[in-house]
Amino acid sequence: MVLAEGDLHFPPGIESFNFRDWFTGLSETGLANVFTTLTFAVWLSVAVIIVFFLWAYRKPQIVPTKRQWLAESAYGFIRNSVSVDLLGKKAGVRFAPYFATLFLFILVTNMWAIVPGIQISPNSHIGFPLVLGLMSWVIYVYVGVKKHGFLGYLRATCIPAGTPVFIYPVVIPIEFLQNLILRPVTLALRLFANMFAGHLILLVFFLGGFQLLNSENIFIQSMSVFSFAMGIAITAFELIVIVLQAYVFTLLTAMYVQSSLADEH
């Protein structure tokens, strides 16, 4: 596990997520926090996705090879089970590249949470999920305004069909806040909170195991076995969370796009 500056003290806390610059000379410049473990994980994740698809489609065949089948399955899963199912065939195919890219990017960056030597996802920092949430917000607002017009989109978003006029003063602020302000925030916080909590729990058990080993009491030292075992078990559980969070983020984004394209809410 790569230890952040705060990991030198036990128990771990928020400071455990503060990573030093790889090049110490940059800390006092405008490039501070540009080259850290987390930024390395993000750039490497992007490279892995690009190289994987270039490699898979290097020599495409009508009867797909194993690598081509793997790439097509990854894309087809999101296209068919999320995009087309929610948006219909025409719109679903159009938005499928974004949804598939979003899913794969979150999935790969989340995977760093269980990679030995790193064991933290970039999404454990709120900045990365927040950017993803804002990107999705821009897309579903844009497509809504493009289809309905600015005022028409506001009306469709803030006034549910069949709402009595006399409760407009109550409904409109609630719907506006829920649909146009809180959606990107909840998208980001859901992803961030799950990955943050997962990393913190892993820190507790693995660093706790080392602390128990350093005890002079043999009984306490023996408890380190339980601590390490729990850390390994939670790592396996974290794999489920990694995939689930990538899918949920993508699914909710698709649902928001679908609501923006819908004629009525």
Helical packing angle, 85-111 and 37-56, nearest 10°:
130
Distance from C-alpha of 236 to C-alpha of 247, rounded to nearest angstrom = 18
Cis link prior to 11 (omega < 30° from 0)?
yes
From 70-84, 223-237, 244-258, the region with the lowest mean pLDDT: 223-237
Handedness of CA 129, 46, 144, 259 (dihedral sign): negative
- Per DSSP, the three-state class of 233 is helix
Q: Cα(188)–Cα(233) distance, rounded to whole angstroms?
A: 26
Task: Give the pLDDT confidence of 69-80 residue by residue, as tens digits.
Answer: 888 998 999 999
Round the average pLDDT of the chain to a whole number and report it.
84
Mean pLDDT of all residues in 39-61: 89
CB neighbour burial string for 137-171, b if at least 16 within 10 angstroms, e if fewer: bebbbebbbeebeeeebbebbbbeeeeeeeeeeee
Separation of alpha carbons 195 and 32, rounded Å: 24
**How would you classify residue 88: left for phi > 0, otherwise alpha for psi between -120 and 50, otherwise beta?**
left
**pTM listed for this prediction:** 0.83
pLDDT band at 228 (very low <50, low <70, confident <90, very high): confident
Neighbours of 128 (CB within 10 A): 23
End-to-end CA gap in the chain: 48
pLDDT tens digits, 240-251: 999 999 999 999
Which residue in this structure is represented by tokens 């399955």?
73
Tokens 């926090």 -> residue: 33
| pLDDT level of residue 206 (50, 70, 90 thresholds) | confident
CA–CA distances in Å: residue 9 to residues 3, 21, 199, 210? 10, 19, 16, 12
The domain ranges of the chain are 5-261
Contact 250, 99 (CB under 8 A): yes
When pLDDT is averaged across residues 134-145 and rounded to a whole number, the result is 94
The owner of tokens 């590249």 is 97
Spatial distance between the Cα atoms of 171 and 176, rounded to a whole number of angstroms: 8
* Band of pLDDT at residue 18, cut at 50, 70 and 90: low
